[in-house]
Amino acid sequence: MRIKNHRLEGIRFIESPNQDQRPLAEDLDLIVIHCISLPPGQFGTEGIIELFTNRLDPEQHPYYQDIASLRVSAHLVIRRDGEVIQFVPFDRRAFHAGISSYQGRPACNDFSIGIELEGTDDSGYEAIQYDQLNRIIKALIITYPTLSRDRMAGHQEIAPNRKTDPGPFFEWHRLDRENR
């Protein structure tokens, strides 16, 4: 994988309106891993795309009634089949972390890249998702030297009393150790 103009080449790009300029563009030094499925526990739906593009219909599913008004996004989503969709260029701030702190530094959206895996906190992830995630992380580290494999966190680590993803079934040891 390669990154050009802050976007992964050769993947689908669906621009989310839920983004803005980073306070300091050069201040990129954290990768945050999340998980999402919409409706919860269902995979392969258009719910994630609809949520990140503010088109989620609250009448489609009872769960959507509580989240349809949220204005959230991530830089990338890795679906169960390995498809990667980018929603926000890497030099822009995506709205993925919410109220958060990493190593005492608040507002993680300001300095991080958010990557969502299609999944749930209470189930495992597919091998192809780990393969794609490793390829993406390698491309990010090559393109943005301020990033490293030592500065990756799960959403639960940066918002511990609020979030639980990517959950106990995420296998951190499956991430490549090269460049670490």
Enumerate the active-site residues. 116
Exposure string for 43-62, b = 16+ CB within 10 A, e = fewer: beeebbbbbbbeebeeebbe
Q: Are 122 and 169 in contact (CB under 8 A)?
A: yes
Distance CA 89, CA 58 (A): 27
Distance CA 18, CA 53 (A): 7
59-66 contacts: CB < 8 A, separation 24 or more? 63/38, 63/39, 64/38, 64/39
Distance CA 70, CA 79 (A): 21
Furthest CA-CA distance within the chain: 46
> By CB neighbour count within 10 A (0-12 exposed, 13-18 middle, 19+ buried), where does 110 fall?
middle
